[in-house]
């Protein structure tokens, strides 16, 4: 009997030791969560923040988001050890408005930047400015590109913009972060390595760059020569009128009817001469080369499923190549070595390969709009958060994490901190993804359903597709006629938002 009591006590002590060891091991995480939950304190007061945008990264191609290929072992390992938002969506369909939504916490219909001719109004709250006003220094490492315009969007609240071309140029910012012993620095790192035509790094030649020799690898069948052919002339003259109406060009060109008239009234030979002799005309026409050759590519390859699969596999290869990049791995390593730095990795949109009749990023289906969101917050344990989240949630989340107060009405997005703390599992939330203008689609979604709507000129939005994305993630079965109550509920939210 005595022996049994001793054994029982020994087992109890062993269990107690294991529990205490577990508690001590995760003490920092437990402490941070308790302080934040009980006393409404920030999770990482005054911490550095590193925001990474891996442009054109579709969540659906990553294994940690259900992708069928092991395209990102390092990124998904990092996600598995930290905070993964498994239902994260972009609020727009391409780089320019999507990034502005990230930094303003507003939909493109509210921030107003939907084309290269748009300027972000100074009255609109801007994350870098809000951070700078709270004592942060802000540094941007990104390409000098019309979709990341420093004259119209990224012109305030930024201590220094460092223009880069290759991801290895991040190393300068990483060294700066590593050597900086003070808190309250914000770094934004952006890279375009995943964009069409998905050529390997050794042969990448960006269209219209000074060193552009070939747009596609030889195996894809053609190499552009940029000669002003009759086919190109017809394409430009047809395209330019709609592009001017949409706001593709700068304001001074938009409001110059004589200049625009040159394109619509000039003969082939006349416009060809102007292309080679007049700089302003040459520059306007040159902006069409990329779109023209992409059109040729679509016509030549999009209808061929084998070539389409080849294109998708090249995109997957580019993801794998990016996942192996030393600069990305160094950044993760440096941040995790510091106890005062938050790391957030996301994207602005994904990529599609004819799943719904389009290439690259043209539609609002989830191949293009579902994106990754991965966070490292010092002292916070790993978790997979199922609640739907969106790009406009990033700005309020960052402010909340580092303890900068803000009025909730400042943003259309919400802070995600309550989900990180486990205070909320799910809340009734709607996500809008926009293409601006009459005749262009809009989507609204909740946790289970996604509704597509379109707005004819001068009329209200009309629903035309509905999917249950929890049972049909590929958006293959349109159930709009079998779920009228769901359609009605989501329509009411659209009216509430836009009318």
pLDDT at 367 over 90: yes
- Give 180's pLDDT tier (boundaries 50, 70, 90): confident
More confident residue, 482 or 359: 482
In a domain, 102, yes or no: yes
Is beta strand 48-54 parallel, antiparallel or unpaired with respect to 341-346? parallel
Instruction: Please give the pLDDT value at position 17.
Output: 41
- Give 308's pLDDT tier (boundaries 50, 70, 90): confident
Distance of CA 230 to the CA centre of its chain: 37
Residue 178 sits at the vertex; the CA angle it makes with 177 and 179, to the nearest 5 degrees, is 95
Q: Which residues pair with 498 in a beta bridge?
A: none
Instruction: Please give the pLDDT value at position 216.
Output: 38
CATH code, 472: 3.30.1120.10
Contacts of 371 by beta carbon, 8 Å cutoff, 6+ apart: 57, 58, 59, 88, 89, 90, 346, 347, 348, 349, 350, 391
Q: What is the mean pLDDT of residues 78-98?
A: 97
- Give 108's pLDDT tier (boundaries 50, 70, 90): very high
> Does residue 46 sit in the same domain as residue 177?
yes
Instruction: Please give the pLDDT value at position 285.
Output: 77
Q: What is the mean pLDDT of residues 432-452?
A: 89
> Does residue 187 sit in the same domain as residue 289?
no
pLDDT at 74 over 80: yes
Helix axes 73-80, 326-337, angle to 10 degrees: 20
> Does residue 412 sit in the same domain as residue 491?
no
Q: Which residue has the tokens 């069948």?
A: 221
Among 424, 457, 487, the domain boundary falls at 424
Q: Which long-range contacts (C-beta less than 8 Å, at least 24 apart) are formed by 34-37?
A: 36/417, 36/421, 37/421, 37/422, 37/423
> Does residue 78 sit in the same domain as residue 185?
yes
More confident residue, 345 or 360: 345
Closest residue by Cα to residue 98 from 428, 445, 404, 392: 392
DSSP 202: G
> Does residue 183 sit in the same domain as residue 142?
yes
Q: Which domain holds residue 129?
A: 42-193+325-424
In a domain, 319, yes or no: no
Which region among 230-244, 406-420, 474-488 has the lowest average model confidence (pLDDT)?
230-244
Instruction: Please give the pLDDT value at position 452.
Output: 96
**Beta strands in 310-405, from DSSP E residues, in sequence order:** 341-346, 352-353, 359-360, 373-376, 383-385, 389-390
Mean of pLDDT over the chain: 84
Instruction: Please give the pLDDT value at position 209.
Output: 35
Q: What is the mean pLDDT of residues 134-145?
A: 95
Among 399, 424, 449, the domain boundary falls at 424
| pLDDT tens track for 333-359 | 999 998 899 999 999 999 998 888 777
> Does residue 342 sit in the same domain as residue 401?
yes
Distances (CA, A) of 268 to 64, 96, 234, 242, 271: 52, 33, 8, 19, 5
More confident residue, 456 or 342: 342
More confident residue, 209 or 158: 158
Cα–Cα dist 213/377, whole Å: 44
Q: What is the mean pLDDT of residues 462-491?
A: 96
Cα–Cα dist 206/188, whole Å: 22
Containing 179, the helix (H) or strand (E) segment is helix 170-179
In a domain, 317, yes or no: no
> Does residue 330 sit in the same domain as residue 395?
yes
Which region among 260-269, 298-307, 416-425 has the lowest average model confidence (pLDDT)?
298-307
> Does residue 76 sit in the same domain as residue 24?
no
Instruction: Please give the pLDDT value at position 223.
Output: 42
CATH code, 412: 3.40.720.10
- Look at the chain and report how many structural domains it folds into: 4
Q: Which residue has the tokens 């596999």?
A: 313
Residue 410: both structure tokens together: 């400042």
pLDDT at 302 over 80: no
Q: Which residue has the tokens 């305030």?
A: 156
More confident residue, 82 or 22: 82
In a domain, 364, yes or no: yes
| pLDDT tens track for 205-233 | 333 233 333 333 433 443 445 678 888 88
In a domain, 267, yes or no: yes
Instruction: Please give the pLDDT value at position 229.
Output: 84
> Does residue 227 sit in the same domain as residue 88?
no
| pLDDT tens track for 41-54 | 789 999 999 999 99
Residue 272: both structure tokens together: 């060809």
Contacts of 321 by beta carbon, 8 Å cutoff, 6+ apart: 193, 200, 201
Residue 277: both structure tokens together: 């002799």
In a domain, 205, yes or no: yes
Q: Which long-range contacts (C-beta less than 8 Å, at least 24 apart) are formed by 331-336?
A: 331/50, 331/52, 331/170, 331/174, 331/189, 332/74, 332/78, 332/376, 334/174, 334/177, 334/178, 335/50, 335/177, 335/376, 336/376
Q: What is the mean pLDDT of residues 381-407?
A: 97
> Does residue 107 sit in the same domain as residue 231?
no
> Does residue 186 sit in the same domain as residue 209?
no
| pLDDT tens track for 238-283 | 787 666 665 555 555 556 667 667 777 788 898 888 888 887 777 7
Percent of the chain scoring above 90 in pLDDT? 56
Write out the DSSP string of 122-163: TTS--HHHHHHHTT-EEEEEE---TTS-TTTTSSSS-SEEEE
In a domain, 311, yes or no: no
pLDDT at 89 over 70: yes
> Does residue 48 sit in the same domain as residue 183?
yes
Residue 495 sits at the vertex; the CA angle it makes with 494 and 496, to the nearest 5 degrees, is 90
In a domain, 488, yes or no: yes
- Asked if residues 320 and 72 have their Cβ atoms less than 8 Å apart, the reply is yes
- Dihedral sign from CA coordinates of 116, 120, 121, 122: negative
- Asked if residues 139 and 187 have their Cβ atoms less than 8 Å apart, the reply is yes
Q: What is the mean pLDDT of residues 33-45?
A: 67
pLDDT at 496 over 70: yes
Closest residue by Cα to residue 328 from 26, 52, 37, 44: 52
């Amino acid at each position: 009997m005595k022996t049994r009591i001793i054994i029982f006590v020994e087992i109890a002590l062993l269990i107690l030791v294991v529990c205490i060891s577990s508690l001590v091991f995760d003490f920092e995480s437990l402490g941070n969560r308790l302080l934040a939950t009980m006393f409404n304190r920030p999770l990482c007061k005054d911490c550095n923040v590193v925001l990474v945008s891996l442009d054109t990264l579709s969540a659906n191609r990553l294994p940690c988001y259900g992708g069928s290929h092991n395209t990102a072992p390092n990124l998904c390992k990092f996600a598995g050890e930290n905070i993964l938002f498994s239902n994260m969506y972009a609020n727009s369909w391409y780089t320019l408005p999507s990034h502005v939504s990230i930094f303003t916490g507003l939909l493109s219909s509210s921030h107003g930047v939907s084309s290269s001719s748009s300027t972000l109004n100074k009255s609109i709250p801007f994350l870098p400015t809000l951070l700078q006003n709270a004592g942060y220094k802000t540094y941007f490492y990104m390409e000098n590109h019309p979709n990341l315009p420093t004259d119209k969007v990224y012109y305030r609240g930024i201590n220094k913009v460092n223009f880069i071309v290759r991801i290895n140029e991040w190393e300068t910012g990483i060294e700066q972060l590593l050597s900086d012993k003070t808190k309250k620095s914000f770094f934004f790192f952006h890279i375009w390595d995943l964009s069409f035509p998905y050529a390997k790094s050794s042969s990448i030649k960006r269209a219209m760059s000074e060193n552009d020799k070939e747009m596609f690898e030889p195996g894809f069948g053609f190499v552009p020569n940029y000669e002003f052919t009759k086919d190109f002339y017809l394409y430009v003259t047809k395209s330019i009128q709609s592009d001017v109406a949409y706001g593709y060009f700068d304001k001074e060109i938009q409001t110059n009817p004589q200049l625009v008239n040159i394109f619509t009234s000039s003969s082939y030979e006349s416009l060809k001469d102007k292309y080679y002799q007049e700089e302003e005309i040459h520059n306007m026409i040159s902006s069409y080369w990329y779109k023209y050759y992409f059109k040729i590519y679509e016509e030549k390859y999009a209808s061929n499923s084998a070539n389409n699969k080849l294109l998708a596999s090249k995109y997957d290869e580019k993801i794998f190549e990016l996942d192996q990049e030393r600069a990305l791995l160094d950044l993760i390593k440096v941040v995790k070595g510091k106890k005062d730095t938050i790391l957030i990795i996301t994207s602005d949109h994904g990529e599609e390969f004819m799943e719904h009749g389009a290439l690259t990023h043209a539609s609002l289906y989830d191949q293009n709009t579902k994106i990754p969101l991965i966070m490292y917050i010092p002292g916070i344990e790993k978790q997979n958060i199922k609640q739907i989240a969106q790009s406009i949630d990033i700005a309020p989340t960052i402010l909340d994490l580092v303890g900068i107060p803000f009025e909730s009405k400042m943003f259309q997005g919400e802070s995600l901190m309550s989900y990180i703390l486990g205070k909320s599992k799910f809340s009734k939330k709607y996500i809008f993804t926009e293409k601006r203008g009459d005749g262009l689609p809009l989507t609204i979604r909740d946790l289970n359903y996604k509704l597509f709507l379109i707005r004819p000129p001068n009329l209200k939005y009309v629903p035309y597709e509905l999917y249950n994305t929890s049972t049909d993630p590929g958006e293959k079965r349109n159930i709009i006629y079998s779920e009228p109550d769901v359609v009605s509920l989501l329509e009411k939210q659209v009216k509430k938002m836009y009318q």
